[in-house]
Amino acid sequence: MKRQIAIVTRKMITGGVERALILMLREFNPAHVCVDLYLQELGGELFHEIPDWVNVIHMQTINLRNVFFHPILSLKGANIKLKLKQGLPYVEQCRLASKLYLPIWKHYDIAIAYHAPNTVPVFLVIDKINAERKILWLHGDMESNQGLTKDVGYYYCKYDKIFAVAKSIYDSFTKAYPEKKNCTEVFYNYIDLENIINKSNEIIPLHKCVDF
């Protein structure tokens, strides 16, 4: 039976996090895994590069079309939207915004918060997804990404496994949360070597490189 994997991120824009995700998806064997990629927003420059076998799902929030089906969540959502207008710190905005999304009822073997350390997926994977194991994928250090606050630390400690894409990020995380050191590892991003070589061999006209 295929392993069921959920990956949660924001939007497939042109960025290092998104490019790394595309390359990781290409490493998966669709004969062995079924991947649901949950996006906060559809589109983005790299959206068309998502492998065809990946099931892309646009995460749904509480809105006028489903308010009657989720009356309690709708009341809570109205209160959250008011709080989001109060100029709160970014990580607190993300925590509150995650509560506006509808629960995901499907059961997974693994759920991954890929866009971390201080974004909506960090909170959503813990609160809204049912999975045997939950993995936090860190793309930034704690000090410069509001990863040292009490609320976000509470969520970090709920993850079963943490991968850091650089040794410096691993050091930053394990220094802040030494109790999670045994379940934290460095996992370097995949590199598209062939694409890098092809780009390096491209001939670019001089007028496109120099502003005369």
Give the pTM: 0.86
pLDDT for 114 beyond 80: yes
At 134-143, the pLDDT tens digits run: 999 999 999 9
Q: What is the mean pLDDT of residues 12-41?
A: 95
91-99 long-range contacts (CB < 8 A, ≥24 apart) are: 91/118, 91/146, 91/147, 91/149, 91/151, 91/152, 92/149, 92/151, 94/118, 94/119, 94/120, 94/122, 94/123, 95/123, 95/151, 95/152, 95/155, 98/122, 98/123, 98/124, 98/127, 98/128, 99/123, 99/127
Residue 212 clears pLDDT 60, i.e. is over it: no
41-50, 65-74, 185-194, range with greatest mean pLDDT? 41-50
Give residue 68's pLDDT.
54
